[in-house]
Structure 1
Amino acid sequence: MAISYDNTGRGIKVLVNGVHMKTIPVLLLEAFKNHHGKIAFDKKRRITPEERKLLHSYLVYLKWIRKLRKTEKHLYQLIKDTYPVATRKVITLDSERFELVLDNNLKIKCPEKIYLLFTEKPVIIHSNY
């Protein structure tokens, strides 16, 4: 399956084996290149709202990772090549925090904005401390 891209000005045509399969916005090209395995190449030429949400959440995650590169260098080195697979909401006695579970089973604290993008089925954990 050879994937190529054709820039038409308004959008980018995704060609699979020379046949036009999808049209995506220019801003989502980088996310599409990394996650095209999660996109269904059916008869619909436009990306569906679910596919658009997936690509948009990846873009927001990338921006957050780039920000971590400048502010939290050690955390960035731990998570630079990983992707979130689940989310958790941890409720303690006096506060709550949001966590991402990455594909290497590492759990990191994240902002609420990132948590809401990747939440499919909320997992709530209660902590005693």
Structure 2
Amino acid sequence: MNLNHQQLLFSLFHDGTLFNISKSGSDYLFSIDIPYLAERLNPDYSFFTLKLSQTQEFFFQQDTSNQVVEDLDELNRMQLEILKTDSTGSKIKVFCTDGPNEHFGFLHIKTEDIQIYDPKNRRLELVEVEQEARNY
């Protein structure tokens, strides 16, 4: 997935919250809780799952202190909520709020590919998610 599509994907998940972040080798897997969008595919859905393949960067950097968080347990505790997404150079920067601590910062992501899945593990194309978001 090219950088512009990665930026678009995370922009579609505005107001979604990351959870169940895990890593295997250079791949990251996590879910985004975003009921209003997931329910458009199926009323029983409340989240999407993303698989990031061949990931070189995945960390949160607090806006005011520049503190960097890479630890997955800590990232999961932070309940990062997506606010805005930009691309810079060869990566995307997802502006988030760290829910429990009420801090802001950027989730830095540099990855080769992103795959999207529904809660039943059915692979989705970006165009499907985009269409549902635009129709909301």
Using structure 1 for the length normalisation, give the TM-score: 0.30
Structure ranking higher on relative contact order (CA contacts 8 Å, 6+ apart): 2
**Structure showing greater Rg:** 1
- Higher strand residue share: 2
- Higher helix residue share: 1
